[in-house]
Chain A
Amino acid sequence: MRGDIKLYRPSEDQISIRALTAISASINAGEPTVSSDASGSSTGVVKEGATHDPTTASAHRFTGIAKSDSSDTAAAAGYVDLWVPFADTIYSASALTTAEASTQAKIDALKFKRVYLDLTATKWTVDSSVADAVTHAVVIIGGDYAKSTFQFLITPLASIIGHYPSA
């Protein structure tokens, strides 16, 4: 959903790039994107991520949070502007379960946990209840319990910046 994931603190080097989208990709600003290509192919096309992205176990590299709505239609391919996923970009999004981010103590206890994003219906959130795993690319580094939001990094090992696939 538009605005679900925000840049809480952009990198000092933050830039955006324009990438191709397929027919009916329908990406909204604030949604995560991944490369449509698996390893070994290259079309330059991106698509919306899936629930439980991003991970290093996927051949579809994380390509950044959409800065704009995509311009594709039901009849034609289009473009979307993406925030390049630099390693020092800090993001924020709501917790999947607000009760898990409802106090500072709870947020403190989740710090540095590796989790992933959740997509339920059209809403993107941080699934903080998933077990910590090396393949999970969302690293919680803080939050705001008054808003039940998390602040997090996305490890380069899952993205175009430094992809390294896990077994």
Chain B
Amino acid sequence: MRADIQIYSPSANQISMRSIVGSGTLQSINAGEPTIGANASAATWTGAVKIAADADPTGVTAHRFTGIAKSDSSDTVAAAGYVEVWVPCANTIYSADAKTASLVASQALIDAMRFKRVVFDLTSTKWSVDTAASDSVANGLVILGGDWTKGEVRFLIIPTVSIIGQIPSA
């Protein structure tokens, strides 16, 4: 959903880039949604991105995280389009709602999940942070803090799951 994921603190070097989005759906990506490479490793290269899936981003997928959409995509059912994505610089800090608000309903709850590695959740069209996911080296979101009054968490996305420095996990 539009604006589900926001840049809480941009890198000083934050830039965006325009990427291809394939045809087949009308405006398949909204601003504030996560994107991944449409190409798997070693695939025929197209440079296209697509909307991520539930439980992305991780180091176990061949589709690297390509950033949060800055704009709505311009693709249609009949024609490919473009989307602006924020380059996932390692120092960028993001914010989004927790999937389960009661899990971040106090500062003590947020403190106790600091540095935990989790993933995004996609339920219906709503993107959130699945703070209940088990900590795993393959998970790409690292919780740094949050705002319990808003049910919101702040997090990094580690370069090892993104175009910045992906190392596929086992």
Question: Contact partner of B135 among A42, A46, A162, CB < 8 A?
Answer: A42
CA separation between A124 and B13, bound complex, in Å?
A: 32
Q: Which residues from chain A contact B91 at a C-beta distance below 8 Å?
A: 11, 13, 86-88
Q: Which residues from chain B contact A13 at a C-beta distance below 8 Å?
A: 9, 11-12, 91
CA separation between A88 and B59, bound complex, in Å?
A: 22
Q: Which residues from chain B contact A39 at a C-beta distance below 8 Å?
A: 135-137
B71-95 contact mask (Cβ, 8 Å, vs A): 1 or 0: 0000000000000000000110100
The DSSP consensus for interface residues of chain A is loop
Cβ distance A150 to chain B, nearest Cβ, rounded Å? 23
Which residues 110-167 in A have Cβ within 8 Å of B in the complex?
156-157, 160-165
The answer to whether A20 touches B111 (Cβ under 8 A) is yes
In the complex, whether B63 has a CB less than 8 A from a CB of chain A is: no
A-B contact count, CB below 8 Å? 81
Which residues 125-156 in B have Cβ within 8 Å of A in the complex?
134-137, 142, 144-145, 156
Residue total for A at the interface (Cβ-Cβ under 8 A): 31
Residue total for B at the interface (Cβ-Cβ under 8 A): 29
Question: Contact partner of A19 among B114, B117, B137, CB < 8 A?
Answer: B114
- Given known pairs A12-B12, A17-B144, the reply for A44 and B114 (CB within 8 Å) is yes
B residues contacting A by CB (< 8 A) are 9, 11-13, 59, 90-91, 93, 111-117, 134-137, 142, 144-145, 156, 158-160, 165, 167, 169
Nearest 8 interchain pairs by C-beta: A12-B12, A44-B114, A42-B116, A13-B91, A162-B158, A44-B112, A42-B135, A162-B159
Q: Give 14 A-B pairs besides A15-B93, A40-B134 with Cβ atoms closer than 8 angstroms.
A: A17-B114, A19-B111, A20-B114, A35-B115, A42-B135, A43-B112, A44-B113, A84-B144, A156-B90, A156-B158, A156-B165, A160-B142, A161-B90, A162-B90
